[in-house]
Structure 1
Amino acid sequence: MKNTTVETAIGALVILIAAGFFALAYTTSGKGNTTGGYTLKAEFDNIAGVNTGTDVRLAGIKVGTVVGQTLNPENYQAVVTMSIDPKVKLTDDTTAKVTSEGLLGSNFIALDPGGSEVVLADGGQITNTQGAVDIWTLISTAMFDSGKGKGGSGGSGGGEGGRNKPAGNAPAQTAPEPVPETQPQ
């Protein structure tokens, strides 16, 4: 009988610890966001890497979370719904852009407040947005299009797209002969 009581107590302890881990995971994933913040929406042309639970940051500080995303069927823009900390008041000229923590870092939404006096209300919309930039497209464009310029970037110029022409029959340049030094008398 004594053995059964100990086993029951250990089992109950394990269940409580597991429930605590599930509660922690639920609240930190953004699914259980109960901050009581206000919601804002923003439309982007590309939100690659942004999901429910993605950070919303202002000056590098987390001030909110993405709580939803849908597609606007009229213009095929991605509509992101964000929950923002009620202490943070954003103006109607705030800019929202999808950016990353580095070359291989995760994406987040960066907010840049403007100078307007009009504060966005709960349910308001941020109209100044910039979608995610595909870094691999930028790299491939820089690599493969660098030789296609007309004397601009990508080489030494010369109107040949940055490629140097071979010298051909051009005369070789020779150094001038040294001039003898004269000493004052």
Structure 2
Amino acid sequence: MRGLFRENAGEAIVGLLVVILAGVFILFAWDRTGGGSHADGYKVTALFPNASGVNVGTDVRVSGLKIGSVTGQKLDPQTFQVAITIALDPAVKLPADSSAAITSEGLLGSTFVALTPGGSETPLKNGDTITDTQGAMDLMALIGQFINKPSAPAGGDQGATGAKP
């Protein structure tokens, strides 16, 4: 048995490294998807007309700083809007009239939910709904409109003959 282990020691070490690497990957994925984060935080719902790019685990930020994450999403059967459940850090007390927008870090950046604090004296509490929202922009539709936009003639409108009046 010892002879077998000596012959395969390199393979055993590689196998151990693969198992350790898999464990690190699982911990990284758990952290990135918001697993267990803000479990003691308060949850609010935001209604969006378009929630493209937002998934469970998407960051929720105020002024660029992560203060929570998306914990669920479903279609509201009455309004046909997407109801996104957000878990927020209990240390952050946002005003009740805060607004939410789905935005990205740039042209190829990741999508996140940006919260803009309002001016109300009463803070958001567990179970509240944010109704002042802005959905995700359809970037491909915007690019398509720009590319397919009809262009005006170079000399202006000169009629069918092209002669100047």
1:155 positional shift: 8.3
Match of 2:87 among 83, 99, 111: 83
> What is the root-mean-square deviation in Å for CA atoms of aligned residues?
3.0
Equivalent in the alignment of 2:70: 66
Deviation at 1:63, TM superposition (A): 1.1
Give the number of the structure with larger relative contact order, counting CA–CA contacts within 8 Å between residues 6 or more apart: 2
Q: 2:143 is matched with which residue: 115, 119, 139?
A: 139
Q: Where does 1:5-154 land on structure 2 (aligned, <5 Å)? A: 10=13, 15-30=19-34, 32-35=35-38, 36-145=40-149, 147=151
Any runs of at least 4 consecutive aligned residues in structure 1 with deviations exceeding 6 A, and if so which? none
In the superposition, the TM-score normalised over structure 1's length comes to 0.71
Give distance in 2, aligned partners of 1:82 and 1:155: 50
Q: How far apart, CA to CA, are the structure 2 residues paired with 1:155 and 1:86?
A: 59
- Taking the aligned partners of 1:89 and 1:131, their CA distance within structure 2 comes to 23
**Which stretches in structure 2 are left out of the alignment for 5+ residues?**
none
CA distance in 2, matches of 1:168, 1:114: 58
What's 1:168 paired with?
Answer: 163
CA contact (8 A) 2:94 2:117 kept: yes
Which deviates further from its counterpart, 93-102 or 10-19?
10-19
The change in CA–CA distance for 1:101 and 1:17 in structure 2 (over 3 A counts) is closer
How far the C-alpha of 1:26 sits from its partner, in A, is: 1.6
TM-score by length of structure 2 reads: 0.78
Structure 1 distance, partners of 2:144, 2:119, is 37
SS in 2 for 1:110: strand
Structure number with larger C-alpha Rg: 1
Q: Residue type matched to 1:165 in 2?
A: Q
Cα 1:21–1:135 shift into 2, 3 Å: closer
Unaligned runs of 5+ in 1: 148-153, 157-161, 171-185
- Residue of structure 2 equivalent to 1:159: none
Relative distance call for 1:165 and 1:22 in structure 2 (3 A) is same
Seq. identity, %: 44
